[in-house]
A = this chain, B = another copy of it.
Amino acid sequence: MPEGLVGIIMGSDSDLPTMSLAAQVLEELDIRYEITIVSAHRTPQRMIQYAHSAASRGIEVIIAGAGGAAHLPGLTAANTILPVIGVPITTRSLCGIDSLYSILPMPVSRPVATMAIGEDGARNAAYLAAQILGLKYSSIQAQLIKQRALSNDVSEIAL
């Protein structure tokens, strides 16, 4: 089985511009991933099947993005014991606070690792996935250490 496959899911293709930023970070870190559109509301059985079969298909971490009454991350977390990272997508009328409050306060034993609302949240979901995988795969951790050193090497600049 390959190392550290990340499953990125979202409920609708309107979430793709945000969630593809997670994919982009994973590519930069040389981590394999797959992107799937699977809806808690339109294809619930597939969503559950996705969650149930994820581990056996080699997925180790799931990144789930959703907006509004954002049920995908929590429902996925309820159907797998893989770590699930939730990305609250920005919404028009409530700025994504609805998405955040639909993802964050999960019942005990069904956690969702919640990220910031919107694009930075999607990027950080990929970094968190890498950190989790890094515990097991030393090459991923090495990659993260290298990347961290570079990002820290921003010298203090006196303007």
Residues of A that sit less than 8 Å from B by CB? 11-13, 16, 34-46, 48, 50, 60-61, 68-71, 74-75, 77-79, 81-83, 85, 90-98, 100-118, 120-121, 123-125, 127-128, 131-136, 141, 144-145, 147-148, 151-152, 154, 156-159
CA distance A84 to B152 in the complex (A): 18
Residues of B within 8 A of A92 (CB): 118
Whether A75 lies near B71 (C-beta < 8 A) is yes
A157 CB to closest chain B CB (Å) equals 5
CA distance A144 to B55 in the complex (A): 14
CA distance A40 to B103 in the complex (A): 14
Q: Top 8 nearest A-B pairs by Cβ distance?
A: A113-B113, A111-B124, A68-B105, A41-B78, A98-B101, A111-B128, A105-B116, A102-B102
